[in-house]
Amino acid sequence: MAAVVEHEGRFLLVEEHTAAGRLVFNQPAGHVEYGESLLEAVARETLEETAWRFTPQALVGIYLWNRPAGQAGYLRVCFAGSVDAHDPEQALDEGIERAVWRSRQELLADEERLRSPLVLQVIDDYLAGERYPLSVLKFLLA
């Protein structure tokens, strides 16, 4: 899952280290833990990676990125929402250097530092008005 948060034309991102040692920009994103809903997971991941409390308000889209042969692909469920509380003293997840706010233009100018093509695609879809109600999501726990 990933979070898209816009404030005055800038987007909340993380600057993080990849396994290969690159410092890249990405949306706050992560995995679902057992027993979590998608909404709980994206709120938790955003808090852990940015120290901002995120409230999901809409689904932007579901994305499948097929990486080059031999590399695992990514399925990203992306949510738009807002943040309302920040704790600058909170430690961020391992590998996260810092949370930053960047405009689309700033990201485009530094495109080689994007973690994946998903970063701009999600922002472009958000800016194009792509929004789906959260009610399309169903959470079933065995």
Which residue range(s) make up the domain with 120?
2-136
Give the integer Cα–Cα distance in Å for 82 and 79.
10
pLDDT band at 22, cuts 50/70/90?
very high
Long-range contacts of 40-44 (CB under 8 A, 24+ apart): 41/1, 42/1, 42/2, 42/3, 42/77, 42/79, 42/81
4 close to 79: Cβ distance less than 8 angstroms: yes
Is 94 domain-assigned? Answer: yes
Give the mean pLDDT of 35-51: 97
Whether the predicted pLDDT of 66 surpasses 90: no
Which pLDDT belongs to residue 24? 97
Give the integer Cα–Cα distance in Å for 83 and 3.
10
Give the mean pLDDT of 112-133: 97
Is 128 domain-assigned? Answer: yes
Average pLDDT for the chain: 94
Size (the chain), residues? 142
Give the mean pLDDT of 118-139: 96
Which pLDDT belongs to residue 70? 72
Which pLDDT belongs to residue 142? 65
Is 77 domain-assigned? Answer: yes
Question: In CATH, what number is assigned to the domain containing residue 89?
Answer: 3.90.79.10
Give the integer Cα–Cα distance in Å for 111 and 65.
17
Is 142 domain-assigned? Answer: no
Indicate the pTM of the whole model.
0.93
Is 141 domain-assigned? Answer: no
Give the integer Cα–Cα distance in Å for 139 and 15.
31
Whether the predicted pLDDT of 116 surpasses 80: yes
Which pLDDT belongs to residue 114? 96
The number of distinct structural domains making up the chain is: 1
